[in-house]
A and B are shown apart, each in its own frame.
Chain A
Amino acid sequence: MPEFFHRKIERSAIGFVLAIIAAASVGGIVEIAPLFTIDETVEEAPDMRVYTPLELAGRDIYVREGCYACHSQMIRTLRDEVERYGPYSLAVESKYDRPMLWGSKRTGPDLARVGGKYSDAWHVAHLINPRDVVPESNMPAYAFLARTALRTDDLSDHLRAQRRLGVPYSDEMIANAVADAYGQAAPDSDFAAGVSERYGEATEVSAFDGVASRLTEMDALVAYLQVLGRLTSAAYENTAVSQEAPNPDN
């Protein structure tokens, strides 16, 4: 019987193809399928908010520049990592992340909780030339971000695509995407209030690159870096190491 069966496989290339699929598909199915029901087991994070349009634009710049090649955003459940970077990362914290940017290499430090650790001015100076701030650094200089105006005309498209994939952006958020991007980087403007209204009072509104009149890619990237680890405080509750969440006001 097996002889007959295998002769058939040998004779027919198609049968052989099916055998390869049968062997190769099972591992992926077994490991991936249960993750679709993971919401049932993942910690609740009722305070979790979505990225503002400016932060999302900053995240897209982080993606475009390939920052993941040197910076992870995943603090593992190891003592030294928790003491160095903060509470270990939870699955819920990246639930709006497309793609996830957990990374695989730390040529530079982990950034999962970098939000609030440094001032906006530090980030801007560091991005313009890392060696002005950290002489030993081997990070590339991103001075061009401060010179490049942020593209905003397609921000609504970005939010709409995210919503179609399941991120809870409201119609109002999509309609006001451009205004909110301007408002978040111009605290004294009329648009600033809308940001707090739609994304919560805790959302940082600041002239990130130091110039409120102009919206640059630097504004967006710094806004994103400053929100890393601060979309929810779930990681600071019920974990082994209790810590204070970074305070946005200091």
Chain B
Amino acid sequence: MDFDHDTLVAFSKSWGLFYLMGFFICVIIYAFWPSNRKRFTRAKTSILSGEDKPWR
């Protein structure tokens, strides 16, 4: 290994957290993006349409 143990541990302890925060900022932006609202509403009601045939 090129890295010594302390470097790897320090990297693990810090970057995981930054990654976590960055990731969740993206997820929250996606979930609350205004124009996605219509799509989500459509998705959650479409499974209840009761149609039982493939679309083509």
Contact = CB atoms under 8 A, between A and B. Distances in A.
Are any A and B Cβ atoms less than 8 Å apart in their complex? yes
Interface of A: 2-3, 6, 22-23, 26-27, 30-31, 33-34, 36-38, 40-41
A126 to B, nearest CB: 42
Contact of B26 (A2, A27, A38): A2
Given A2-B26, A2-B30, A34 B4 contact: no
Nearest to A29: B12
B23 A34 contact: no
B8 interface: yes
B3 interface: yes
Nearest to B30: A6
A55 B8 CA distance: 36
A6 B8 CA distance: 32
B8 A2 contact: no
Contacts, number: 35
Nearest to B23: A23
Given A2-B26, A2-B30, A6-B33, A36 B1 contact: yes
Contacts of A22: 23
Contacts of B16: 26-27, 30
Given A3-B33, A37-B3, 4 more contacts: A6-B36, A30-B15, A33-B8, A37-B1
B35 interface: yes
A41 B8 CA distance: 12
23 contacts: A2-B29, A2-B30, A3-B36, A6-B33, A6-B36, A22-B23, A26-B16, A26-B19, A27-B16, A30-B15, A30-B16, A31-B12, A33-B8, A33-B12, A34-B5, A34-B8, A34-B9, A36-B1, A37-B3, A37-B5, A38-B5, A40-B4, A40-B5
A128 B15 CA distance: 54
A37 B33 contact: no
A37 B23 contact: no
Nearest to A42: B5
Closest 7 CB pairs of A and B: A37-B5, A34-B8, A30-B12, A40-B5, A30-B16, A6-B30, A2-B29
Interface string B7-49: 0110010011001000100100110010110000000000000
Contacts of B5: 34, 37-38, 40-41
Contacts of A2: 26, 29-30, 33
Nearest to B25: A2
Nearest to A3: B33
